[in-house]
Amino acid sequence: MARQDYCAFLGRQLLALTFIAAAFGKMIHFDATTNMMSVYGIPIPSFLCALAILIEAAGGLSLALGFYSRWGAAVLAAFLIPVTLIFHLTPDQRTTFIANIAIMGGLLMVLAFGPGAISFDGETALR
């Protein structure tokens, strides 16, 4: 296996951790999350919070396992666009806004170059 496969594996794990932790946080603080979403004017916050949990958990597991990882990366990148624009566009959220942009960059790298050989997808990175 090549160095880029190990780097791709580690990169996927770090990206996955971000989304799995976010999903877990939303699950254990569901009411607080839906209340915060209501403050931002989000309609049907309970449904959309549950949907966010599903997207983050499934996408995170997809990245962690390298199973349909290009799809997982694409869905998570698309998910981050409205989330970032709605919740992190204010000056006090600048750091989170920039972090989300960086995470989107990592997701696009997975989408473009694949998960690497250490994955259920088994694609060699950088092909």
* pLDDT one digit per residue (tens) for the chain, 127 residues: 788 889 999 999 999 999 999 999 999 999 999 999 999 999 999 999 999 999 999 999 999 999 999 999 999 999 999 999 999 999 999 999 999 999 999 999 999 999 999 999 876 544 4
The pLDDT assigned to 52 comes to: 98
The pLDDT assigned to 29 comes to: 98
Burial 33-64 (b: 16+ CB within 10 A, else e): bbeebeeeeeeebeeebeebbebbbbbbbbbb
In angstroms, the CA 19 to CA 3 distance is: 25
Q: Give me the sign of the Cα torsion angle 53, 86, 111, 95.
A: negative
The pLDDT assigned to 124 comes to: 59
Domain borders along the chain are: 3-113
Distance set, CA 20 to CA 59, 66, 80 (Å): 8, 14, 14
Do 49 and 23 meet the contact criterion of CB atoms below 8 Å apart? no
Q: How many residues does the chain have?
A: 127
